Amino acid sequence: MEFTKMHGLGNDFLVFYGMKQLLGQAAELAVRYCDRHFGVGADGLVFILPSETADFRMVIINSDGTEAEQCGNAIRCAAKYVYDNGHINRTDITIETLGAGVQPVTLAVENGKVKTVRVDMGAPILEGRLIPTTLDGSEIIDRPVEVEGETFRFTGVSMGNPHAVIYVEDAPMYDVHTWGPKLEKHPLFPRRTNVEFATVTGPERIEMRVWERGAGPTLACGTGACATLVSSVLNGLTGRSAWVGLAGGDLFIEWNAEDNHVYMTGPAETVYRGELAV
């Protein structure tokens, strides 16, 4: 099996193209080859497949073998892959995802290669039961969640996948490894959750670190950056656009007041190509 190693701000994937449908052993392959010691090493596998409703369909398998509904960094990598490899010659394309449906994508091209990708991530889902959480309400803002005697306050947002955004004093130095997995699997979140630890440093700047559901701590999370911006607007902490600083770099996030959609702009990089002995 041929693959391409790609990353979006350090959130890295093995990208596969050319299959008609998802492999039956995709989960097993993800666990084996995402291992950074005994495999290639990645946060997940990305399969670019045919779609009946869009130019392409993207399926993401996390490093633990579970399927992700959506991933902002993965969709930028998929978009760069199909353009750079000549599978499409337009700079406005559509990619179908499990959790967010068909998403419009705009490519910024330099010297024949994609430099940055702007993705229409759709409208955020804010209703408690739809995020999903076990809480009722049209918005879940600044709600308490207790873990091992510690009380956190979170804002719930779905960008096609669930997020719990928690504000802390110093996000880059926060102990994500301790609290991330405990919050991810808290009973309040029936399908588990991604957890963002955020610090607002200005009206247009947020520092964020993430514990991704099914992957653990990653250098970047596109949907998490979108959820954090939405949460920051809901909590009156920022305007409707801001740079979100992640461990791997910055994403520019906008929550458009006219169409209620969130737009994410950021880079994607190709690292190398290889073959797996499956």
In this structure, the answer to whether residues 107 and 65 fall within a common structural domain is yes
Q: Is residue 89 part of an annotated ligand binding site? A: no
Give residue 24's pLDDT.
93
Between the alpha carbon of residue 194 and those of residues 51, 122, 164, 214, 256, the distances in Å are: 27, 18, 6, 9, 23
- Asked if 180 and 217 count as a contact pair (C-beta separation under 8 A), the reply is yes
pLDDT at 277 over 90: no
In this structure, the answer to whether residues 115 and 205 fall within a common structural domain is no
% pLDDT > 70, the chain = 100
Q: Is residue 213 part of an annotated ligand binding site? A: yes
In this structure, the answer to whether residues 132 and 117 fall within a common structural domain is no
CATH number at residue 14: 3.10.310.10
| pLDDT tens by residue, 169-195 | 999 999 999 999 999 999 999 999 999
* Number of domains the chain contains: 2
- Enclosing domain of residue 136: 128-260
Q: Is residue 72 part of an annotated ligand binding site? A: yes
In this structure, the answer to whether residues 116 and 136 fall within a common structural domain is no
Strand boundaries in the chain, DSSP class E: 2-8, 11-17, 44-49, 56-62, 67-68, 92-97, 101-110, 113-120, 143-147, 150-158, 162-167, 194-202, 205-212, 216-218, 241-246, 249-255, 262-267, 269-275
In this structure, the answer to whether residues 244 and 140 fall within a common structural domain is yes
Q: Is residue 260 part of an annotated ligand binding site? A: no
Instruction: Tell me which DSSP letter residue 84 carries.
Output: H
In this structure, the answer to whether residues 136 and 233 fall within a common structural domain is yes
Report, as an integer, the average pLDDT of 29-43: 97
In this structure, the answer to whether residues 146 and 82 fall within a common structural domain is no
51 pLDDT band, cuts 50/70/90, is: very high
In this structure, the answer to whether residues 110 and 201 fall within a common structural domain is no
pLDDT at 164 over 90: yes
What's the pTM value of the predicted model, to 2 decimals?
0.94
| pLDDT tens by residue, 106-149 | 999 999 999 999 999 999 999 999 999 999 999 999 999 999 99
Report, as an integer, the average pLDDT of 12-23: 96
Give residue 179's pLDDT.
98
In this structure, the answer to whether residues 45 and 108 fall within a common structural domain is yes
Amino acid at 180: G
In this structure, the answer to whether residues 97 and 150 fall within a common structural domain is no
Going by C-alpha positions, the residue among 57, 102, 45, 72 that lies closest to residue 268 is 72
Q: Is residue 94 part of an annotated ligand binding site? A: no
Q: Is residue 28 part of an annotated ligand binding site? A: no
pLDDT at 246 over 90: yes
Q: Is residue 62 part of an annotated ligand binding site? A: yes
pLDDT at 278 over 90: no
In this structure, the answer to whether residues 139 and 213 fall within a common structural domain is yes
Catalytic residues: 71, 221
In this structure, the answer to whether residues 41 and 86 fall within a common structural domain is yes
